Structure 1
Amino acid sequence: MTNQSLHHRTLKCQVIELMLATIDNPSNAVEWVMREMMSKPTILKRAVEELDKVVGCNRLVEESDLPQLNYIKACIKESFRLHPFAPFNVPHCSEKDTVVAGYFIPKGSHFDPDRHLGENEKQVVLTDNELRMLSFSTRKRGCPGVILGSTITTMLLARMIQGFSWEKPNEELGKLVENHDDLQLAKPLVAIAKPRLPQYLYPKC
């Protein structure tokens, strides 16, 4: 029987990679979904309403609340579908108003979280075992930090939406353009955040 133990250098490299991914990937994912939601105020408003209904305005969202935040997770999942971590996806966006199979598709429409809220789906999860989209992969090649990554991403977005009202710094947010090197936003998202909860919920500096 061969020795299956990991060398300390291998273990150290894996821990460092997991730590870096824990910081970079959730923050990049949330920046994308915030950019998408701010360009569609009705979607952002619906996410805020879900948080107010599930959590309220007298305490901060906690990890135990996440199973009930299906619309928040649907927004993240839709962002994963459109903006994967690797360049495997062809952009899908209508260039003009059109009708396909009897359905009207307005110009520029592509961000639709409701596609992940099926009638029989009780819980929205950020993974896709059938690989219709790439998020955390699946099976033996799946991300070992899938639960941690899903939790951090959902908690980060939920806290940002719950804690602040978000506004554009001007009328235009600019085009959604990916960076050619790492698929992040080509230009960082700039937004105005205003507290929307009681003052005692914010930490004192």
Structure 2
Amino acid sequence: MAIDPYLVAATVLCLLVHLLLHRFLRKSPSRFPYPPGPRGLPILGSLLLVGASAHSSLARLAERYGPIMFLRLGSHGCVVASNADAARAFLKTVDAQFANRPDPISARDVSYQRQNLAMADYTPTWKLLRKMCSLHLLGGKAFVDWAPVRRDEFRRMARSLHGLAEAGEPVELMDVLVCTLANVVGLILVSRRVFDAHGEESNKFKDILVDMLTGGAQFNIGDFFPSIAWMDLQGIQKKMLSVHLRFDAMVTKLFEEHEAAKGERQGRLDFIDKVMANKVTEDGETISEVNVKALIFDLFTAGTDTSAIIVEWAMAEMLKNPAILSRAQAELDDVVGRDRLLEETDLPKLAYLQAVCKEAMRLHPSTPLSLPHFSHEDCEVNGYYIPKNTRLLVNIWAIGRDPEVWEEPLVFDPDRFITGKGARYDPQGNDFEFIPFGAGRRVCAGKLVGMVFVQYLLGMLVHAFDWSLPDGEELNMDEKFGLALPKAVPLKVFLRPRLSPAAYA
């Protein structure tokens, strides 16, 4: 195929412009210096240093350049916070300046052109969406109101697993978890279960999640060189458009069925009913149907995959450390007994189970790098100049493995959250040594729900069954980097019921 010489000349010209910008903009116009960081290559900057596993690559760079590090990524500046003090400086001291999001091309389609909660800027519409979620879905009263849904679906999962255990069939844990959580979210949002059972339909949904979480996390060349974004050199934009079209078809169908069944929900309004009934505020702010679709995308992705990933990692770590599994089961037997399934009201009495969940979140955070923040004005952070239009990444994975905070940070040890230093750290975003849900204005809106999902699911699984790997299989603990951080090889296990038969009825 012939190469257009005009295209080549235009590309070279763009690259030369980027090189000149790199040379002239690197000098700080402030009396404060830029943070330290690698010089990088002309034009590309430090893109090649990031690699396929950005969280670990950036952690290694931070060991050399420090916890506040500046990188030039193509034509964009990026600052990385890699320890608790650095995260506190950005997400508490100058949180307002970094409350916006950048506009990555790879996220535009799946976020409905940034009309969702995750990727929208810090605007009145974003605040309204967040308020709706807190009031009708994720806040204290709403959370209590939806407890029966969680109970019914988790018990349904236990019965389903009991049947597979009795039949001697292996279980791919992630499939079961995603199916269960998607049904919980579906019942709360639109009054219907999304899947009758884990299988072909739930696997299609899981494929959407996997494609979104892996594709959305890649460092897209087009985001850092906007002038050549149209080429889509890595195929990321095409992949993310496919994700959007598949999800939109699913959510459009749910919308249509939801509208057709509105006469059946008298007195039993779901989340979407409540949002649509309050979509215009007294101040004139409006939530559009596109906002609602984008919000549903957020809630399905954040409400299923992230919690499922933590539970899978926790189970894998306990299979690797059988003494931890036995201790968790002993605590559950003491509190719950063996004649019934775990209830959500039992969770506050299960200190060791809570510690296991926190340790899984520390060592294997579902979101290893925070969603990127974006500065809208110049600012000074810990004596460094940070120009406006700079991306901020908080390396949550590195913070959870900081040897200055955590003794033997690579060891899975739940006791660190009972008798160790971690006992005083709360995961809800107040203690920056442990921020699995992020912190600041853009802290995860579902942090309370996420903690209960993980504790309730893991507790149900550990209490109701004994677990073992297929004969001859070794436990693979490799990570697969993306927006989330799942196991590279899904956990496949055999189960054996450990409660009285009546408990599963």
Match of 2:300 among 19, 23, 46: 19
2:368 partner letter: A
Match of 1:135 among 420, 426, 436: 436
After TM superposition, list the pairs within 5 Å mapping 1:20-169 onto structure 2: 20-84=301-365, 85-87=367-369, 88=395, 89-90=397-398, 110-118=411-419, 126-169=427-470
How many angstroms apart in 1 are the aligned matches of 2:421 and 2:309? 30
How many angstroms apart in 2 are the aligned matches of 1:202 and 1:24? 26
In structure 2, the partner of 1:10 is 291
Change (3 A) 1:146 1:180: closer
1:86, 1:183 within 8 Å by CA — same for their partners in 2?
A: yes
Q: Which range is displaced more, 22-31 or 108-117?
A: 108-117
1:191 is paired with a residue whose SS is strand
1:73, 1:124 within 8 Å by CA — same for their partners in 2?
A: no
1:141 partner letter: R
CA root-mean-square deviation:
3.0
How many angstroms apart in 2 are the aligned matches of 1:23 and 1:123? 28
1:73, 1:125 within 8 Å by CA — same for their partners in 2?
A: no
1:166 is paired with a residue whose SS is strand
Q: CA deviation at 1:86?
A: 2.0
How many angstroms apart in 2 are the aligned matches of 1:178 and 1:121? 24
1:15 partner letter: I
2:308, 2:454 within 8 Å by CA — same for their partners in 1?
A: yes
Structure 1 residue 190 and structure 2 residue 190: aligned?
no
2:492 is paired with a residue whose SS is coil
1:9 is paired with a residue whose SS is helix
Ranges of 4+ aligned residues in structure 1 off by more than 6 Å: 119-124
In structure 1, the partner of 2:504 is 202
Structure whose alpha-carbon radius of gyration is higher: 2
How many angstroms apart in 1 are the aligned matches of 2:471 and 2:411? 23
How many residue pairs match? The answer is 192
Q: Normalized against structure 2, the TM-score is what? A: 0.35
Change (3 A) 1:33 1:119: closer
1:33, 1:76 within 8 Å by CA — same for their partners in 2?
A: yes
Q: Which digits, 9 at most, give the CA deviation of each residue in 1:167-198, with x for residues without a partner?
A: 22236533411013342100011222100011
Q: Which range is displaced more, 111-120 or 182-191?
A: 111-120
2:340, 2:503 within 8 Å by CA — same for their partners in 1?
A: yes
2:417, 2:423 within 8 Å by CA — same for their partners in 1?
A: no
1:129, 1:137 within 8 Å by CA — same for their partners in 2?
A: no
How many angstroms apart in 2 are the aligned matches of 1:119 and 1:183? 26
Q: Which digits, 9 at most, give the CA deviation of each residue in 1:54-104, with x for residues without a partner?
A: 111111111111111111111111111111122422485xxxxxxxxxx9x
2:319, 2:467 within 8 Å by CA — same for their partners in 1?
A: yes
Gaps of 5+ in 1: 93-102
Q: Which range is displaced more, 59-68 or 136-145?
A: 136-145
In structure 2, the partner of 1:179 is 480
Q: Which range is displaced more, 120-129 or 193-202?
A: 120-129
Change (3 A) 1:165 1:57: same
1:73, 1:126 within 8 Å by CA — same for their partners in 2?
A: no
Q: Normalized against structure 1, the TM-score is what? A: 0.81
How many angstroms apart in 2 are the aligned matches of 1:180 and 1:137? 18
1:200 partner letter: A
Q: CA deviation at 1:138?
A: 2.7
Percent of pairs with identical residues: 33
1:159 partner letter: M
Q: CA deviation at 1:39?
A: 0.4
